[in-house]
């Protein structure tokens, strides 16, 4: 895997979320993952995401939420991305405009951390952030994600 886009697909990107609150956005993105065959059991996954968010919120600058669930039975690390027309309060807290929802297999913690590090790079790249925010469709958003390299993992990091 070489870029952030390796863990998603244009069909998993929603350039304009229909939902207007955090719980509904979570459900919309969970359904997107299920429709594309990335998760099998929608309700346990959705419940795990909501439970995690209620215990430990995942809002970061620049107005993103990074909800996730780490469960057995997920075939591979993947994420859905949704963008809102207007900022929404993420579970009553900070405003967000983009939500990256991660499905994380129990065995892929290191790959997940690498993916988060790649997104952290994106969060510091003003030009790419603007392009992602202004992209007219999922394919254009996907192309921006293809430009974000993942950090190299060392052999020592893989053994952890």
Cα distance between residue 13 and residue 100, in whole Å: 9
Cα distance between residue 156 and residue 134, in whole Å: 39
| pLDDT per residue as tens digits for the range 32-73 | 999 999 999 999 999 999 999 988 888 888 899 999 999 888
Q: What is the three-state SS of the chain?
A: CCEHHHHCCHHHEECCCCCCCHHHHHHHHHHHHHHCCCCCCHHHHHHHHHHHHHHCCCEECCCEECCEEEECCCCCCEEEEEEEEEEEEHHHCCEEEEEEEEEEECCCHHHHHHHHHHHHHHHCCHHHHHHHHHCCCHHHHHHHHHCCECCCCCHHHHHC
Strands 78-89 and 64-65: unpaired
Residue range 75-82: mean pLDDT, rounded? 96
- Judged against a pLDDT cut of 90, whether residue 159 lies above it is answered with no
Q: Any idea which architecture 4-159 has in CATH? A: 3-Layer(aba) Sandwich (3.40)
| pLDDT per residue as tens digits for the range 6-26 | 999 999 999 999 999 999 999
Calculate what percentage of the chain has a pLDDT beyond 70: 94
Cβ pair 121, 148 in contact under 8 A = yes
Q: What pTM was computed for the model?
A: 0.92
């Amino acid at each position: 895997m070489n870029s952030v886009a390796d863990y998603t697909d244009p069909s998993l990107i929603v350039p304009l979320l229909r939902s207007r609150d955090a719980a509904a956005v979570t459900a919309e993105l969970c359904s997107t993952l299920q429709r594309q065959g990335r998760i099998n059991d929608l309700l346990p996954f959705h419940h795990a995401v909501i439970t995690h968010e209620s215990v430990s919120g995942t809002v970061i600058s620049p107005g993103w939420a990074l909800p996730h669930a780490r469960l057995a039975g997920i075939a591979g690390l993947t994420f859905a991305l949704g963008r809102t027309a207007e900022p929404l309060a993420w579970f009553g807290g900070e405003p967000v405009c983009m939500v990256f929802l991660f499905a994380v297999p129990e065995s892929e913690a290191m790959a997940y951390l690498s993916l988060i590090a790649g997104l952290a790079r994106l969060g510091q790249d003003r030009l790419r952030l603007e392009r992602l925010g202004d992209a007219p469709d999922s394919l254009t958003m996907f192309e921006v994600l293809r430009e974000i390299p993942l950090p190299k993992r060392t052999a020592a990091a893989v053994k952890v």
